[in-house]
Amino acid sequence: MLSETEMIDTLSQYHPLIIEGMGGYDPRDPSTVAAVITKRLQAHWLSEPASKPILLVTQGDPYEANGISAITRVVADQLDISRALIFLDPEIADYHAPDADRYKVIFEISYSQMVGALQKQQPSIIKNIETAVDDLLVEKNTRRLNNERPALPAYYRIFALLQEVTKVSCKQICNGITIAHTSSEISDFSVSSFYRVGLSLGLIDPKEMVRYEKLTDASS
């Protein structure tokens, strides 16, 4: 088994691809969605070539026939690339690592290791991300309560942190990143919607994000 340092060093040898989107409730055919994403990624990399081999980094979603876990499997096959897994530590969510889909996964790194790697480079960055996630949660819950809707579940916070820390840490470790979404419309009350945190803090560049659009309808 690789040590923590060896796993981070291994990750640094790749260009990370992270795909965000709906879970198993997504009614669309995963192969159809994956085909759109793959074409958009290939077009993106023609204009913005990756300097290292592509690695699809997943965030512990369990396998389901539809949604993000099924889509990322197909994208990995279509691009003929391996995957890595970032998982929540047992003391945070003991079910997360055991339930995670490990299709084509060549190594795994815990959330705490990603936090540690990021803090070594920028000591204040985790606090900044946490504050931004908490502020966005308050804003979303305020709007929900004003519309007589219940607050978002408590687990949203840690999964939003997992999402944003994974992306920012991958970018810092690998000196680059590509992020894609599985839909052009993202629910404002989804975990995926917290992608705005990395953008608002200037930690993710909009140029690193690939929109979900049919290639014939997209400008680039």
Q: What is the pLDDT of residues 105-118, one digit of tens each?
A: 999 999 999 999 99
Helix (H, G, I), strand (E, B) or coil at 106: strand
Residues spanned by the domain of 91? 4-215
Q: What is the pLDDT of residue 215?
A: 55
214 or 216, higher pLDDT: 214
- Angle ∠(7,11,15) on CA atoms, nearest 5: 175
Q: For residue 28, is it within any domain?
A: yes
Q: What is the pLDDT of residues 147-176, one digit of tens each?
A: 999 999 999 999 999 999 999 999 999 999
Q: How many domains does the chain have?
A: 1
Q: For residue 31, is it within any domain?
A: yes
CATH number at residue 169: 3.40.50
Q: What is the pLDDT of residue 213?
A: 83
2 or 91, higher pLDDT: 91
Q: How many angstroms separate the Cα of 99 from the Cα of each of 94, 189, 197?
A: 9, 24, 27
Q: What is the pLDDT of residue 61?
A: 95
Q: For residue 220, is it within any domain?
A: no
CA 117 – CA 123 distance, rounded (Å): 10
Q: For residue 179, is it within any domain?
A: yes
Of 20, 8, 17, the C-alpha closest to 80 is 17
Contact in structure between 79 and 54 (CB atoms under 8 Å): yes
Q: What is the pLDDT of residue 130?
A: 97
Q: For residue 139, is it within any domain?
A: yes
